[in-house]
Amino acid sequence: MLEEELADSLCQMGYETVLVGGSGSFHHTTRPSPQSPVLRLRSGERGKRNSQFAILYDYWRFWKAAWAYIKTQVSPGDALLATSSPFLNVFLVRVVRRSDPGVVTIFHLHDYLPSNLRSLSIVHRLAAPFVKLVTDHFLKQWDLVLSCAGNIAYKKSNCVVARFWPTIQGPITKKPSPARRALYAGNLGIAHDVDALIRQMGRLHADGWGIDFFGDGPMADKLPSFVDKHPFVSGDDYVETLRSHPIHFVTGVGRDGTGAFPSKTFNSLYVGAQVVPCGFSPEMLEELEYLRKVPDLADNRRYAASVVDRFLKRAPASGIRSWS
């Protein structure tokens, strides 16, 4: 959704944009279609990411399809805007440099793999410093890196902080329901600090609050029995779900917390909910306090588009290929 809206903003600025994505399974949404044409690569992703092997296999299949697309469809004068999901996208800059040196490369750093690795096993944590060296080496080769927040642990000269924005459409009355129910909405992946989330849920439950979970993910099975589980909702149902819960939980990355700032936090703040951070590092808590004071978080979208626009005016591009 973030990339669709960023592409739309750039389209309104006069850029010809194409959204390129994989063929995996995605949550159905009732959002309006983006202004930019959408191309689904025949990547053969299965979409069942319930293990590290399944995740890596899907990422590899998408990366191969993206590599083939760049080789045949991206030309000098284009701009390529890739996201860090999947993280293998960071290596695509080498494909561009070898085939089309005139392409402008932009990387939207949603999350940071070295931080995510610290949430997993001891083997992953030991590998994290080496992965950071490799990741940063390739990130430095992109012309521009957009970081979703200042707390991501990549801070080289080609990086500009461009925070996320709410993905809810239309004006929102910031008056959540007074119901004593707290909410976690979204994915619970293997890198989320689920233990910290469960502790916060337990405190509120003991205080008489009902707890709702709307979403899925491999860590959802760890949630305690007092949590009422519901399938993911989208469109108007998603907005109503947010507005009907005055308290929203948001999780950081286990053992680290600096790898990403969840985009759903912006939707929660936008509807006026109280955000309860779970497992946040000091940097993340500082970022949350900053966001709570921003008058209009929707301005972040316009700012991100203006950063790309200013950069492309210094390195002109005729069209933008954006994918995640």
> What are the tens digits of pLDDT across the range 10-50?
999 999 898 887 765 555 566 677 788 887 777 666 655 55
Domain that holds residue 204: 181-292
Mean pLDDT rounded to a whole number for the chain = 84
172 is a domain residue: no
- Is residue 171 domain-resident? no
Q: Are residues 265 and 282 in the same domain?
A: yes
Q: What's the pLDDT at 199?
A: 96
Please, which residues bridge with residue 206 across strands?
none
- What pLDDT digit, counting tens, does each position of 231-267 carry? 988 888 888 899 999 999 998 876 666 666 777 889 9
186 and 305 share one domain: no
Q: Hey, what are 242's tokens?
A: 């947010």
Q: What pLDDT was estimated at residue 35?
A: 80
How confident is the model at residue 139, as a pLDDT?
Answer: 95
Q: Which one-letter amino acid corresponds to residue 26?
A: F
- Res 318 pLDDT > 60: no
Average pLDDT over residues 185-200: 89
What is the greatest pairwise CA distance in the chain? 61
- Asked whether residue 192 falls in the same domain as residue 282, the answer is yes
In a shared domain, residues 237 and 305:
no
Nearest to 110 by CA among 37, 40, 36, 189: 189
What is the predicted pLDDT for the residue at 177?
64
What is the rounded distance in angstroms from the CA atom of residue 227 to the CA atom of residue 270? 24
| Alpha-carbon gap, residue 20 to 17, rounded angstroms | 10
In a domain? residue 60: yes
Mean pLDDT value across residues 173-194: 81
Please give the backbone phi and psi of residue 317, each rounded to the nearest 5 degrees, phi first.
-135, 145
Cα 112 from chain centroid?
A: 10
- In the predicted structure, residue 191 carries a pLDDT above the cut 80: no
Residue 303 has pLDDT above 80, yes or no: yes
- Kindly report the CATH number assigned to the domain that includes residue 275: 3.40.50.2000
**Could you give the number of structural domains in the chain?**
2
- pLDDT by residue (tens digit) across 106-115? 999 988 888 8
Residues constituting the chain: 324
Q: Is residue 149 part of a domain?
A: yes
**Mind listing the pLDDT tens digit for each residue in 122-180?**
888 888 889 899 999 999 999 999 998 877 888 899 999 999 999 886 656 656 566 79
Q: What pLDDT is recorded for position 47?
A: 57
